[in-house]
Structure 1
Amino acid sequence: MENVGFEQLAGLFASVGALFTQKREELCAMDAKLGDGDLGLTMSKGFAALPELMRAEAESAAGDVGKLLMKAGMKMSSLVPSTMGFLMSSGVMEGGKALKGRSEIDGAGLADYLEGFAAGVQKRGKCAQGQRTIYDAVKPAADAARSCSEENAAATPQAVIKAALEAAAEGVEKTKAMTPVFGKAAVHAAKCAGVPDQGAVAGYYMILGMYNYLCP
């Protein structure tokens, strides 16, 4: 498999959902120290539901991968009514908007989706790089994906997601030295030194879930 077709989109996100289900307790434990303790529940519930939401919207999306992502992302937001849930659904919808009118996702299309996802997170969360959030993982990932697709017009989704994953991992590592700006973590900033941001870790896992599907 190289490109991701309309019929394969649910499988791609099923892989993401499965990884978040596997990492649910780990993310909740990380979040309990510096947040509300529900991060793993939010990510697993939201992304595990996406494949079924996509199947339910498949007919009305009529083969358009962008439209399918937008519709499923909109439904996802009502399932996980939390700050992170809204960030994720906004990311999925904006990523879908970048793919509207396409029947499959190639390498450049995957870069478009990741850029749209990062833009959706930034727009909804009003965050910037360096503020110790999920954006510190997904923005570098999107930038690396775009560079990969621009340097090689024939870059496959596999090559693009590999570049994105490496950049996301580096982004997570950098959060260890960042001072938090948002939420409970900002109140307990001293406890964050040397510890990766749990939101950034979640962003990394999202991309890892896609990688696991594309590069089995």
Structure 2
Amino acid sequence: MSIDSKMLTAALERVAANARKASDELCAADGALGDGDLGITVSKGFTEASEAALPDDIGMALLEIAKTFQRVSSSSYGTLLATGFMAAAKLSKGKTAIAPEELPTLVAAARDAMISRGKGQLGDKTVLDSMDAVVDAIEATPASDMIAAAIAAAGKTVEDYRQKPNKLGRARMFGDRSIGLPDPGQLAFLRIVEGLHAKERDHISSVKPERPTEGSRQ
């Protein structure tokens, strides 16, 4: 089954609904290591994107989503998401539909563009690690199982990196004190891909943020 603009809008609606449910959770996770507004960025961005009139051209539709995040948020996460959507838009321009088999290439392009824009590296405990894991997971997965594979990979990334220190962004200032805490960006990406699963579905994973111990905040 090909993915057209209408299916993209439906997916955005599901992601937006899940992002709104997860907003407080993401703000709490971000508050432990950053500004505490990540949930607002993600929920507002996807909500407005889901309400936009997307053109039939998939590339232009993805570009409109990117513009939405540029409009609603000046945060680093919002900027990175916009960058990722723009990279995928370039590869999809002129198409009215894309095949599921193209998704690994699009996610990889978004990952690479975000690495370049944010000057991050794989292993820094960021959303980039989540995207990399998802690319690997869906490359060899049938279309019908891609979403489940992406959710599993994103969830595993959060847990694999929980016991590692953050090495990029504001969170890096906490150093070893970030060990034991989920990276907010990775957690947000998990909630985003979970939203793709099914309409009105509650969070599938049990990943939970934790507050830093007394004195861990600067």
TM-score w.r.t. structure 1 length?
0.85
Letter paired with 1:26: E
Structure 1, unaligned stretches of length 5 or more? 149-154
Aligned residues of 2:45 and 2:68 also touching (Cα < 8 A): no
User: 1:152 maps to which residue?
Assistant: none
Aligned residues of 2:166 and 2:179 also touching (Cα < 8 A): no
- Measured in 2, the distance between the counterparts of 1:212 and 1:176 equals 27
Please give the per-residue CA displacement for 1:179-200, whole angstroms capped at 9, x wherever unaligned.
Answer: 2122332221232212211111
Q: Please, which moves more after superposition, 99-108 or 5-14?
A: 99-108
Which residue, 41, 58, 64 being the options, matches 1:65?
58
User: 1:151 maps to which residue?
Assistant: none
- Which structure is higher in helix share? 1
- Measured in 2, the distance between the counterparts of 1:144 and 1:99 equals 21
Aligned residues of 1:133 and 1:199 also touching (Cα < 8 A): yes
Alignment of 1:144 onto 2:130: no
- Measured in 2, the distance between the counterparts of 1:96 and 1:147 equals 23
Structure 2, unaligned stretches of length 5 or more? 203-218
Alpha-carbon RMSD across the aligned residues, in angstroms, is 2.0
- Measured in 2, the distance between the counterparts of 1:51 and 1:97 equals 20
Give aligned-pair identity as a percent: 28
Aligned residues of 1:80 and 1:86 also touching (Cα < 8 A): yes
Which residue, 157, 161, 164 being the options, matches 1:175?
161
Q: 1:117: how far off?
A: 2.5
User: 2:3 maps to which residue?
Assistant: 4
Aligned length: 201
Map 1:1-216 → 2, pairs under 5 A: 2-53=1-52, 55=53, 57-58=54-55, 63-148=56-141, 155-156=142-143, 158-212=144-198
Aligned residues of 2:104 and 2:138 also touching (Cα < 8 A): yes
- Measured in 1, the distance between the counterparts of 2:109 and 2:169 equals 24
TM-score w.r.t. structure 2 length?
0.84
Q: Please, which moves more after superposition, 24-33 or 104-113?
A: 104-113
